[in-house]
Amino acid sequence: MKVIVCGAGQVGYNIARQLSGEHNDVTVIDQSPDLVKRINDNLDVHGLVGFASQPDVLEAAGAADADMIIAVTFADEVNMVACQVAHSLFNVPTKIARVRAQSYLRPIWRDLFSRDNMPIDVIISPEMEVARSAKRRLEVPGAFDMIPFGDDKLRLIGVRLSDDCPIIDTPLRQLTELFPDLNIVVVGIDRASQLMVPTGDDQMLSGDEIFFIADKDHVSRALSLFGHEEKEARRIIIVGGGNIGLFLAESLERDNPAVRVMVVELNRERAEYVAERLERAVVINGDALDSEILIEANAANTETVVAVADDDEVNILASLLAKRYGCQRAITLINNSGYGPLLASLGIDAVVNPRASTVSTILQHVRRGRIRAVHSLRDGMAEVIEAEALATSPLVGVPLREVKLPSGVIIGGVLRGERVIIPRGDTIIQVNDRVVIFALADVVKKVEKMFSVRLDFF
């Protein structure tokens, strides 16, 4: 597949890295010579210096025979015009654009991106994706990650194990024997920043970060088993009244009327605007790093602080201060993945990464075949894929214990109509089942080769 990526920033770089690693023909356009040099030096792609919206630059990038254009520059208008030019002059089949400004995305203008006006196939709003990601973490207290699959009948949950976890040092095989009616599969263990797919003989240790796939109705019981019995938040402080904070507050007001929300915003004009947009939430104009503001926001009696300001350091410090004043849990927006290894030890309970959210959404539309969902984990260390099994699939019609999956790949769940199946060795997958697969990054190519024709995965 020939792909043009417009923008060599963090998102563009990571998309190019993943696509080139899977032997796609990738060209990256950026107006910064330094970013293009970094791309050329580190990735097997073609880097091109220029303005991504200009026809001659797109022509030089090979737009005439490109299968897809992914426009993720820092300018919404450049992204939109690049897709328009790619369609009008080069007839590129698939066009994906990142659009940040919420004005373009208001329902009243929903026809803007239709094929007759500005033909963009997929619009990605990082602010909305991040807000949704933060809200998912609020739904499952105790988890640092939650991703729904199969129309939210299956969930991937990430939890951190502490010394008081009742099942540490227990082989996973015994977990199934002790709790035969618990519908979960442990699909990944992150130990000392090394992610692995466990076997039945592997044990979970204190400090491990565990990923498991579970029937939605079994998530609470599973979390209890892993030592997490936190209650869902009824009082929430949102630090930052930007697009992310506003979208999250509006979503909580709409879907969770029993939840009391306070928004802390430093800029007075923005605080007034947010207050006008919200119906019940209380908006405080002030600095979240000011102890008096945290006291006014009632941090001592608040279950969760969600820090989504546009500064990583402010988010980290505001989260830690809120917890110091009595807040029980912190969900923190971090753009710089270099902070990742430090956050758990500091006391940050869950992290939201805009780049990871955007990359996962783009991958969902990049993958070929019967793909329902794709999510990238741990900065690309693994992927979780939901796909539909076809009649020609090697998975269909035989017990899973007889299927030779590559090392580093595990099937975590199956959805058959409305029925959730947590796979065991004797499980037999049927045609049209929706299969959720966890795969480490270095075997994604093998997964592609194994499933590209028979499962029509990619």
Helix (H) or strand (E) holding 70: strand 68-71
Cα-to-chain-centroid distance, residue 154: 16
Count of alpha carbons within 13 Å of 211, Cβ hemisphere only? 31
Confidence of residue 406 (pLDDT cuts 50, 70, 90): confident
Q: Are residues 324 and 406 in the same domain?
A: no
**Residue 454 has what pLDDT?**
46
CA 309 to each of CA 265, 335, 410: distance values in angstroms, whole numbers, following the listed order: 8, 11, 37
**Residue 303 has what pLDDT?**
95
Number of domains forming the structure of the chain: 4
Residue whose entry in the numeric block shows the structure tokens 């992204």:
79
Q: Is residue 458 part of a domain?
A: no
CATH code: domain of residue 252 = 3.40.50.720
For 53-87, how does the pLDDT look when each residue is reduced to its tens digit (9 = 90+)? 999 999 999 999 999 999 999 999 999 999 999 99
**Residue 364 has what pLDDT?**
76
Q: Are residues 138 and 210 in the same domain?
A: yes
Quick one: tokens of 429?
Answer: 């997958």
Q: Are residues 120 and 13 in the same domain?
A: yes
Confidence of residue 455 (pLDDT cuts 50, 70, 90): very low
Residues 286, 287, 289, 295, Cα dihedral to 10°: 0
Q: Are residues 316 and 386 in the same domain?
A: no
Q: Are residues 245 and 348 in the same domain?
A: yes
**Residue 177 has what pLDDT?**
82
Query: Of the residues 337, 356, 375, which one is the last residue of a structural domain?
Result: 356
Nearest-10 crossing angle of helices 126-139, 243-255: 50
Expressed as residue numbers, the domain containing 147 is: 130-225
Query: Of the residues 91, 124, 157, which one is the last residue of a structural domain?
Result: 124
For 415-440, how does the pLDDT look when each residue is reduced to its tens digit (9 = 90+)? 999 999 999 889 999 988 999 999 99
Residue whose entry in the numeric block shows the structure tokens 């194990």:
161
Q: Are residues 242 and 334 in the same domain?
A: yes
For 78-130, how does the pLDDT look when each residue is reduced to its tens digit (9 = 90+)? 999 999 999 999 999 999 999 988 888 878 887 888 777 888 999 988 888 89
Q: Are residues 66 and 162 in the same domain?
A: no
Contact 455, 399 (CB under 8 A): no
Quick one: tokens of 274?
Answer: 């947010």
* Separation between Cα atoms, residue 384 and residue 387, nearest integer Å: 10
What DSSP assignment string belongs to 333-350? E-S-GGGHHHHHHHT--E
Per-residue pLDDT at 451 exceeds 70? no
SS3 state at 393: coil
Contact 5, 73 (CB under 8 A): no
Structure letter (DSSP) for residue 122: E
For 264-304, how does the pLDDT look when each residue is reduced to its tens digit (9 = 90+)? 999 999 999 999 999 999 999 999 999 999 999 999 999 99
* Separation between Cα atoms, residue 97 and residue 72, nearest integer Å: 6
Q: Is residue 457 part of a domain?
A: no
Q: Are residues 445 and 421 in the same domain?
A: yes
Query: Of the residues 225, 244, 277, which one is the last residue of a structural domain?
Result: 225
| Mean pLDDT, the chain, whole residue set | 89
Q: Mean pLDDT across the stretch 251-255? A: 94
* Separation between Cα atoms, residue 342 and residue 189, nearest integer Å: 18
Confidence of residue 176 (pLDDT cuts 50, 70, 90): confident
Q: Mean pLDDT across the stretch 342-362? A: 84
Per-residue pLDDT at 453 exceeds 60? no
Q: Mean pLDDT across the stretch 366-389? A: 81
CATH code: domain of residue 415 = 3.30.70.1450
Q: Are residues 218 and 243 in the same domain?
A: no
**Residue 448 has what pLDDT?**
62
Q: Are residues 283 and 392 in the same domain?
A: no
**Residue 286 has what pLDDT?**
95
DSSP E strands: which ranges in 197-308?
A: 209-215, 235-239, 260-265, 282-285, 304-307
* Separation between Cα atoms, residue 120 and residue 109, nearest integer Å: 14
Cα-to-chain-centroid distance, residue 263: 24
CA 331 to each of CA 91, 233, 306, 319, 338: distance values in angstroms, whole numbers, following the listed order: 43, 12, 5, 8, 17
